[in-house]
Amino acid sequence: MTETTKLNSLKHLAKRYARAKRITQNQALNLVAEKLGFADWTKLVSANKKDWRPSSEQMEGVEAFVANAFPAADFQAGHPDVMARRSAYLDDAEHGMIGDHPYRLLVTLHDIIMMGDGWSIAVPENPGARPIVQTVTEDDGKFPVFDPEFLQEALSLARDRADRVHGEISTDWPRRSTKPDHDGVVRHPLWGDESAVWYCLHCDEKITGTQIAQNLWHCPGCGASPLDIFNTAFWCEDEGKSLSPVKADGAKDNDKPDFRVVDDRPKLELNAEKITLLIRSALLDDATNVSERLGALHAEITVDDDNDVWISLEEDLWPHDKEPVQVLIVATQLGIEVELETTWSTVPFHWPGLGEITSSTSEYTQMMLEAYARYDSSPDNDM
């Protein structure tokens, strides 16, 4: 690498860092200079004119500094598989240990999720949102997230990953979406509209371009996503002139996590769909031949508001004097009532009695095809 190329590379790295961190190019250049031992970029350039050159080790240090603002996927341009690798990075969970406690960390829809046995930490995509800590019980000393030292280290890991994801988002968006101009005008990263004033469809509040850019296009008031942010309040008769500025508490302690207790034990919530599935399965248990199995599949099962069941069985497929024993057992287990009725309708195939002499569907199918053939009928037309 030539000396001129090294200086240009430093400028390029600073530009990438500026986009990832949503700061000005000058700020990024000064940070790079500081990493190399200079007070600012001007001092570095002056030294370069006096034959100072960064060593290979120093270049590697700056590259590592800039890379930390990006996902683990290769942050440099020019590699055709960068996006595929970045996607794989977001999808794969990372395994690690904090002390004696194992954890998994993954990124899903730009939210950071860290999980252990009986606990989880979520750092939302919204930079202004508080981390959410969930456990299955109150603080009883059982879960490590109630230990301040453990929690601090876990949050640090999760926030570090969130910073990288935010860097990825900022890099993929247009520069004008994260860096307002001197009038505070920014460009919507999805719609492409430009304005210095924006409106939240979710909470009906007015937001400045600087506020929305700093918060990665999430509403500073309610946290709504970029999908709810527009440059005109088209839903208001006065186009938003009467809307108030967003009520965002700049002093809010976003570092303090929101603890929540959740009951993750599996619960049986019976509804019509689940009851119907169990009753039909029980009917199939009661069926002893192909005809009855077709009757179980063809049966009309209705569940009322009290979860009681009404079963209509086709008389040509289910014997009128056969009691569905397994259905009644299941109904008793579920604590519901069952009513049966016999109906007559068009059966799926002719000669339903054929299914009464076999329990093999393949054997029944062959007999049915032969019967249709004797009447010179096409199964495609008559079945």
Q: What are the beta bridge partners of residue 94?
A: 105
Indicate the range of 138-152, 199-213, 266-280 predicted with least confidence: 138-152
In which residue ranges of the chain is CATH 3.30.300 found? 272-374
Element (H, E) at 191: none
Are residues 283 and 326 in contact, defined by beta-carbon separation less than 8 angstroms?
Answer: yes
pLDDT band at residue 328 using 50, 70 and 90 as cut-offs: very high
Mean pLDDT, to the nearest integer, of 50-78? 70
**pLDDT digit string (tens) for 268-300?**
888 999 999 999 999 999 999 999 999 999 999
Q: Which of the 8 DSSP states describes residue 76?
A: S
* pLDDT score for 79: 40
DSSP 131-182: PEEEESSSS-S-SGGGSHHHHHHHHHHHHHHHHHHHHHHHHHS-HHHHS--T
Query: Can you say how many angstroms the Cα of residue 227 is from the centroid of all Cα atoms in its chain?
Result: 15
Q: If you count DSSP H runs as helices and E runs as strands, how many of each does the chain have, helices first?
A: 13, 14
Q: Which residue has the higher pLDDT, 376 or 115?
A: 115
The count of C-alpha atoms lying within 13 angstroms of the C-alpha of 88, restricted to the half-sphere facing its C-beta, is 7
Q: Measured between alpha carbons, how far is 134 from 145 in angstroms, rounded to an integer?
A: 9
Q: Which residue has the higher pLDDT, 320 or 85?
A: 320
* pLDDT score for 48: 84
Return all residues near 193 (Cβ < 8 A) that are at least 6 apart. 187, 230, 231
pLDDT band at residue 63 using 50, 70 and 90 as cut-offs: confident
Give how far Cα 80 sits from Cα of 72, 74, 77, 83, 381, Å: 16, 10, 9, 8, 54
- 272-374 belongs to which CATH class? alpha beta
Percent of the chain with pLDDT over 90: 32
Q: Measured between alpha carbons, how far is 262 from 246 in angstroms, rounded to an integer?
A: 31
Q: Measured between alpha carbons, how far is 43 from 45 in angstroms, rounded to an integer?
A: 5
Q: Measured between alpha carbons, how far is 18 from 265 in angstroms, rounded to an integer?
A: 46
